[in-house]
Amino acid sequence: MQIITTKQALQQAVENCKKANQTIGLVPTMGALHEGHASLVRRAVEENDVCFVSVFVNPTQFNNKEDLAKYPRNIERDAELLRGIGAQYVFAPTPEEMYSAEEMNTTFSFDFNGLDAVMEGKMRPGHFNGVVQVVSRLFYLVQPDRAYFGEKDYQQLAIIHHMVERSSMAGTFGNLQIIGCPIVREESGLALSSRNERLSAEEKQTALGISKTLFASLEWAKEQGATVAAVQQRVIDAINAINGLEVEYYEIVDQTTLLPTDSFNHAIGCVTVYCGPVRLIDNIKY
Ligand code: AMP
């Protein structure tokens, strides 16, 4: 496995793969890798001749400086995990290698068709601009045949689908296929997240209340006369009733448009909860 830190070396590696007619799978990550990431990488290794994994804590998608500073980083451990899975290339650039000073300091503009106006987009202004900025740059540099994203970040996945649909009309990313992968959870139900590393043992126990409530809500939705609005409120109340948890939002929306819906058909519930100072996200499909 080769660790690459410059765009130039990355493009050279990509060129070599293309010359050899190898298919390329890409898994973009911010590192501090866990089994959730590993599931994406395993799939990319299986389905492509060559697998590239990027490990880059993208500063332009953080609207909170403290969150950026505290984001866990451990490239040695990440590299070990990726080597074990069989990834061929890791791209781990510095922010300065990825962006010019101007790019770093101006909001990347993009037409989200409203997908950024709800949930994470509403709470973290500019977050998805940074996501689209970094992902489109990675697509441009790596020219993958397939790129893998987790459903854990459901809104991000929806936005990337939209971005690729729009740009494939213009032919930018060729036949790039976006592959969404299911959420990997601990046996306890807690969705794996790099941010879990910041939870104390006690907070981790408390955080179980999030997935437990989401799973329970699948049953609530089946109760006679259950409405989306009532289930949505019941989830918020149940999580807020747990000492140490505070809901930022819980929205049950259509899986494609991310717009509010009054039917459980094709619906997904997306939640963000503060567990102490740590912001956790999760979701459930109805
Ligand atoms: P991140 O490093 O948090 O930016 O995540 C990189 C990729 O891994 C994203 O596509 C995430 O959605 C995905 N991912 C993170 N956690 C999980 C998980 N628990 N299950 C599945 N995919 C995940």
For the chain, domain boundaries: 2-181, 194-285
**Residue 213's pLDDT is what?**
98
Regarding the beta carbon of 247 and ligand 1, being less than 6 Å apart is answered no
Determine which one of 34, 37, 161, 266 is catalytic. Answer: 37
pLDDT digits (tens, 9 = 90+) for 229-258: 999 999 999 999 999 999 999 999 999 999
Atom of ligand 1 nearest to the CA of 183: 20
Residue 281 has pLDDT above 90, yes or no: yes
Query: What CATH superfamily is the domain 2-181?
Result: HUPs (3.40.50.620)
Give whole-number Cα distances, 115 to 62, 96, 111, in Å: 18, 29, 9
Helices (H), 99-186: 101-105, 119-123, 127-142, 154-169
Helix (H, G, I), strand (E, B) or coil at 126: coil
**Residue 171's pLDDT is what?**
78
Atom of ligand 1 nearest to the CA of 191: 19
Range 99-104 average pLDDT: 96
pTM of the model: 0.96
- DSSP label at residue 116: T
**Residue 173's pLDDT is what?**
86
pLDDT digits (tens, 9 = 90+) for 181-200: 999 999 999 999 999 999 99
CATH topology of domain 194-285: Pantoate--beta-alanine Ligase; Chain: A,domain 2 (3.30.1300)
Bin 109: left if φ > 0, else alpha if -120 < ψ < 50, else beta: beta
**Residue 196's pLDDT is what?**
95
Distance 36 CA to ligand 1 centre (A): 6
**Strands 146-150 vs 24-29: parallel, antiparallel or unpaired:** parallel
Residue 24 has pLDDT above 80, yes or no: yes
Atom 14, ligand 1: residue with shortest CA distance: 150
Distance 71 CA to ligand 1 centre (A): 14
CA 180/CA 177 separation, integer angstroms: 10
Mean pLDDT, the chain, whole residue set:
96
Q: At residue 74, what are phi and psi to the nearest 5 degrees?
A: -160, 75
Atom 6, ligand 1: residue with shortest CA distance: 29
**Residue 190's pLDDT is what?**
98
Residue 216 has pLDDT above 90, yes or no: yes
Ligand 1, from 27, 39, 40, 214: best to mutate by most atoms within 8 Å of Cβ? 40
How does residue 169 score in pLDDT terms, banded at 50, 70 and 90? confident
**Residue 239's pLDDT is what?**
98
162 catalytic, yes or no? no
> Who contacts 56 (Cβ-Cβ below 8 Å, separation ≥6)?
28, 29, 30, 31, 91, 92, 93, 98, 134
- Evaluate whether 2-181 and 194-285 have a shared fold: no
Residue 270 has pLDDT above 80, yes or no: yes
pLDDT cut 90: percent of the chain above it: 95
Is the sign of the CA dihedral 268, 115, 165, 63 positive or negative? negative
